[in-house]
Structure 1
Amino acid sequence: MMRRPAPLLLLGIAAVAILLAATIWWLRPPHRAAGGDVAFGTYRLELTNFPGGGLPLGLEIVREAGGPAAYLVNGANRVRAERTTIAGRNLTMAFPSYESSLIAEALPDGSLSGIARLRRRTGPVELGLRAVPGPMWRFHQRPAAPAANLSGEWLLETKGEDGERGLALIRQNGNVLEGTVQFPTGDVRFLAGDISGGEFALSTFDGNQGSVWRGRRLADGTLAGESFGATSKAGTPFVARPRAAGDAVVVIAEEKPPVDRIAFTFPDTAGTPVSLSDPRFAGKVVVIAIGGTWCPNCHDEAAFLAPYAKKRRPEGLEVIGLQFEYGDDAARAARQSQRFAARYGIDYPMLIAGSATPEGSRKALPQIGGVKIYPTTLFVDRKGRLRAIHTGYAGPATGALNRAAIAEFDALVSKLLAEPA
């Protein structure tokens, strides 16, 4: 007499079948559209002439209710293009808040070829773009067995004239690496890559800002390598060692305000002058978010601050954005700030404060000596006194550091809101 399979066995078989089906779906090649049009699905995209040997990332093009949507994939992080347009063989992924775009054409073999137009202080930068349909592997399609496990926290130091000390946070699963590097100026956002033998590589790209980190684990257990940006003439050397229990790390620095009060008047994006002394801010706690649309950490801060400002406004919180943009074109600065505000649903005033240079920020905010780090956040209490200055930001890529930074921000705002006017 045949025995029925046990219920747990049936559940196990079903789970394996579901996992296999999901894996096949994820690794499937994109559906080839008729006539060689842009296909939906997954791609391995590479910015081909990015310094350091190219910058790889994942790309997924999907159908959504409002039309096609493209996502840049950095490990578990997915960045949705602000605007995706497909017209036959032509694909455009636009990021207006950065003033950047990726433009490609579908080739007969199903791949995409084109350019990435990025924005930097010196002006537009163009990089080559190539995307191949299929799995989104990063640097090594068939990596060698890893010679080490890099998971953990590493004290990292970059070399050179502008050297910084930061904290590298790395997670390793087999050959796959994810993580970020937190500097006092901010984090480098979501890094993804792999390790092959003792050599590792990680990269990130959000539609405008990107970097590549290459290195190896040395015999003494330390890491050494170079990092590259889109305009790098040469790699920036770095070294890293495992973080010890007593090693302190500055995530978001707090500066003592050099003055008791500050004052400013700048035009908003419509050209209307707005002053900190306006009646709307009287008796309110005012958070002044100093940044620029070119600053990736300012994007992360805005994604948190926009809904936070709406939530706590009934309690007496006001937020002002002070924008320092590339160049002296006020019309462009206003346009970019409007696009930035639209992306993150910002409804507080965005003021055009000046150019993102030491001279420009000192001219705009002489009371605090200008701005050294973007973003910088000022906290003004209900009596109009400047109570705290925070510099830098720990974004979502930092995990626990981001949660701690948000908790500290919220605690300070709550304390100021509880004080009488």
Structure 2
Amino acid sequence: MKRSYLVILFFTISIFTTIQAQRLDEGYWKSQLKLQNNYSLDFHFSIDEHQQMIIYNDTEEVELNAFEKSDDSIKVYFTNFPTYLIFKASSSKSLKGYFVNPDRKGFKRIEFEADFAGKKLNQVFDYKKTSTDIAGKWEVYFNPNTKHEHPAIGLFKQQKSKASGTFLTETGDYRFLSGNVKNNKLVLSCFDGAHVFLFSATLENDTLKGKFLSGIHYQTNWYGIRNENFELKDPDSLTYLVNDEFKFNVETVENEVYNYPNDDLKNKVVIIQIIGTWCPNCLDETRFYKELYEEYNEKGLEIVGVAYEVPKTFEGKVDRINRFTKNKEIEYPILVGGYASKKESSEDFGMLNEISSFPTSVFINKDGKVVKIHTGFNGPGTGKIYEDYKIKTKALVERLLNE
């Protein structure tokens, strides 16, 4: 009996020790992801008294789910995506492990490490005065002097050496970027569970010249010059009808055929939202459309999402869509498109010239006529641009409802 008690006692102590080892120090942590060519993406997160982890990208707060025990490691999933961090705690103040994106065929794992910084945010950052000024609007080109060159707008803010902002492209924005300016060097980054974006540049006279890295699988050059008057193409002009009959058929999450147009949407104002639940810009748009739906559904607005997902099986796609609608409390239906491919979505919506971006939204009046097609989405990271778009879209919906 004594031996049995000793075994039970040892097992109990082992469990208690494991639980204690999993408890991380409350406060702010400095962390980094190790990218290619000796680059690293620095970010910070906090751990609260409930062991809730929150990652910060400028003003964005990315909440992760509760810690899970995974063999001898700790695993924590992002709430919005199937990605996760898995790590071991060598102490309550030091972590090492990986960021994992299971949807990637290659380059799934990126090395991750973190160290406790302190209870206060100023223990993470020490922003100082600098003579380098990057604040303002920049005319930017990625992949310059190649056939893949494409324009963007850099919108940057600066307080002392603290830098923040985003890039606008013709298919959406790069969301919340934060970093610093030091000795003519600019660094901006975003890590939100989907994006692993690092932008670095050197200010030479009036030109920023640098590199853009996405995870450990992609990098390219970019440059920017100050230009307050620079504009991109109108996102309402990029996708258009090539024949007048807008119709499609896909499946519901219940595996039933869904045809558009249909009797349920007659005499309704309709937004068809072409998205992927893996897409952060789609998430931003969906949060806005949730507001629209709650405000205008009883007045005659209907929104129908069509999601293109990474899993190959129908069941896998449904799982992603159901998790998305449940987590975000989306009341309008999201249907099952095909694989997460602009080519495949373009084939399904063959009446359009192409689907060049997730998301793409088609606005339809009560008579069933397409009145606007909006490509991409510039979300809350763009500040006034986002707020102005919300006002403009609400005005359009109200006009269509009153016609």
Task: Give the TM-score range, shorter chain.
Answer: 0.7 to 0.9
Matching of residue 393 in structure 1 with residue 377 in structure 2: yes
- Match of 1:408, SS? helix
Matching of residue 379 in structure 1 with residue 360 in structure 2: no
Gapped regions of structure 2 (runs ≥ 5)? 1-18
- Separation in 1, partners of 2:27, 2:178: 20
- Separation in 1, partners of 2:129, 2:278: 39
1:205-229 deviation line (CA, Å, top 9, x unaligned): 111212000011102x111101000
1:387-414 deviation line (CA, Å, top 9, x unaligned): 2111011110000110111122112211
Question: Of 84, 88, 111, which residue of structure 2 is paired with 1:105?
Answer: 88
Tell me the CA shift for residue 277 of structure 1: 2.6
CA contact (8 A) 1:47 1:55 kept: yes
- Separation in 1, partners of 2:364, 2:251: 20
Tell me the CA shift for residue 137 of structure 1: 8.5
Q: Give TM-score, length-normalised by structure 1.
A: 0.83
Tell me the percent identity: 23
Matching of residue 95 in structure 1 with residue 81 in structure 2: no
Change in CA separation of 1:119 and 1:188 when aligned onto 2, cut-off 3 Å: farther
| Corresponding residue of 2:210 | 225
Q: Which amino acid aligns with 1:210?
A: V
Change in CA separation of 1:145 and 1:249 when aligned onto 2, cut-off 3 Å: same
C-alpha RMSD of matched pairs (Å): 2.5
Please, which moves more after superposition, 172-181 or 259-268?
259-268
Matching of residue 77 in structure 1 with residue 60 in structure 2: yes
Tell me the CA shift for residue 98 of structure 1: 1.9
| Corresponding residue of 1:23 | none
| Corresponding residue of 2:27 | 41
- Match of 2:108, SS? strand
| Corresponding residue of 1:58 | 44
- Separation in 2, partners of 1:50, 1:336: 30
- Separation in 2, partners of 1:375, 1:143: 37
Tell me the CA shift for residue 193 of structure 1: 0.5
1:37-88 deviation line (CA, Å, top 9, x unaligned): 322221012112466612111111113xxx542111112221112x222659
1:239-288 deviation line (CA, Å, top 9, x unaligned): 111113x4333463334433333112211222122222332211111101
Matching of residue 316 in structure 1 with residue 292 in structure 2: no
Question: Of 385, 391, 397, which residue of structure 2 is paired with 1:407?
Answer: 391
| Corresponding residue of 1:362 | 346
Tell me the CA shift for residue 36 of structure 1: 6.5
The 5-angstrom pairing of residues 189-268 of structure 1 reads 189-219=175-205, 221-233=206-218, 235-244=219-228, 246-250=229-233, 252-254=235-237, 255-268=239-252
Change in CA separation of 1:372 and 1:36 when aligned onto 2, cut-off 3 Å: closer
CA contact (8 A) 1:184 1:253 kept: no
Q: Give TM-score, length-normalised by structure 2.
A: 0.87
CA contact (8 A) 2:272 2:304 kept: yes
| Corresponding residue of 1:300 | 284
Tell me the CA shift for residue 124 of structure 1: 6.8
Tell me the CA shift for residue 327 of structure 1: 5.4
1:290-310 deviation line (CA, Å, top 9, x unaligned): 111122110111111123212
Gapped regions of structure 1 (runs ≥ 5)? 1-32
Matching of residue 182 in structure 1 with residue 168 in structure 2: yes
- Match of 1:402, SS? helix
CA contact (8 A) 2:293 2:302 kept: yes
Q: Which amino acid aligns with 2:44?
A: G
| Corresponding residue of 2:320 | 336
